[in-house]
């Protein structure tokens, strides 16, 4: 929650400045937001690859029991 709030505050302060530098257009802010989303996707895929590698190396597989499921 704290990191999300911090990102919201930083974004709220930086976004108007970026829009003013682009003469009222949101091009730079859209490119930056898209770049952050793509970076997040790459990090998620990288974490899945690491997790699969760890499962193969340990010889175990993470599974939910019947009690853990909804």
- Report which of residues 15 and 64 the model is more confident about: 15
- Count of beta carbons in the 10 Å neighbourhood of residue 29: 17
Confidence of residue 40 (pLDDT cuts 50, 70, 90): very high
In a domain, 9, yes or no: yes
The answer as to whether 69 is a domain residue is no
> Could you give the percent of the chain with pLDDT greater than 90?
23
Is the model more confident about 64 or about 51?
A: 51
Q: 45 in a domain, yes or no? A: yes
In a domain, 11, yes or no: yes
Q: Which of 12, 42, 43, 46 shows the shortest CA–CA distance to 29?
A: 12
26 inside domain: yes
- Residues 11 and 18: beta-carbon distance below 8 Å: no
Residue 24 lies in a domain: yes
The predicted pLDDT at position 1 comes to 64
pLDDT class for 12, splitting at 50, 70, 90?
confident
Domain limits for position 7: 2-58
Instruction: Name the residue among 3, 5, 34, 31 with its Cα closest to residue 18.
Output: 31
Question: What's the total number of domains in the chain?
Answer: 1
């Amino acid at each position: 929650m704290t990191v999300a709030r911090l990102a919201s505050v930083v974004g709220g302060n930086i976004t108007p400045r970026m829009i003013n530098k682009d003469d009222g257009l949101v091009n730079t802010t859209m490119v930056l937001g898209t770049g952050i989303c793509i970076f997040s996707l790459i990090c998620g895929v990288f974490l899945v690859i690491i997790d699969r590698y760890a499962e193969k190396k340990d010889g175990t597989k993470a599974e939910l029991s019947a009690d853990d499921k909804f």
